[in-house]
Amino acid sequence: MHVLYFAWMRERVGYATEEIDPGAARTARELVETLKTRSEGHAAAFEDLRAVRCAVDEEMGDLDMPIAGAREVAFFPPVTGG
């Protein structure tokens, strides 16, 4: 599964994308639990989940979105464009 990080989450993780095996994770939130253990950077990126948004196969949603069969999950802080 392809995982994307943006903005300060990307900076904390240390890179923008990675390939991971989601294992038994059924939702984005469960995937986060796996990702947090990968490095201190990952743990820092996911330190406050209230500040984390996600998209599964480019569909924006919350952390309880199912990820079964997804090719890509993206994590990012609330957007600040415009």
Partner 1 sequence: MDGAAALPKVSVQREDFDLGAEQARLAGTSRDIGAIVSFTGLVREITGQGAIESMELEHWPGRTEKALAEIVAEAEARWPLNGVRAIHRYGRLAPGDRIVLVLTASRHRQAAFDAAAFLMDYLKIQAPFWKKETGPEGGRWVDARDADETAAARWRTASEG
Site residues (vs partner 1, CB under 8 A): 4, 6-8, 10, 55, 58, 60, 74, 76-82
Which one, 26 or 51, has the nearer CB to partner 1? Answer: 51
Which one, 23 or 49, has the nearer CB to partner 1? Answer: 49
Minimum Å distance from CB 75 to partner 1?
11
What is the secondary structure of the chain as a DSSP string? -EEEE-HHHHHHHSSSEEE---TT--BHHHHHHHHHTS-HHHHHHTS-GGG-EEEETTEEE-TT-B-TT-SEEEEEPPP---
Which one, 69 or 82, has the nearer CB to partner 1? Answer: 82
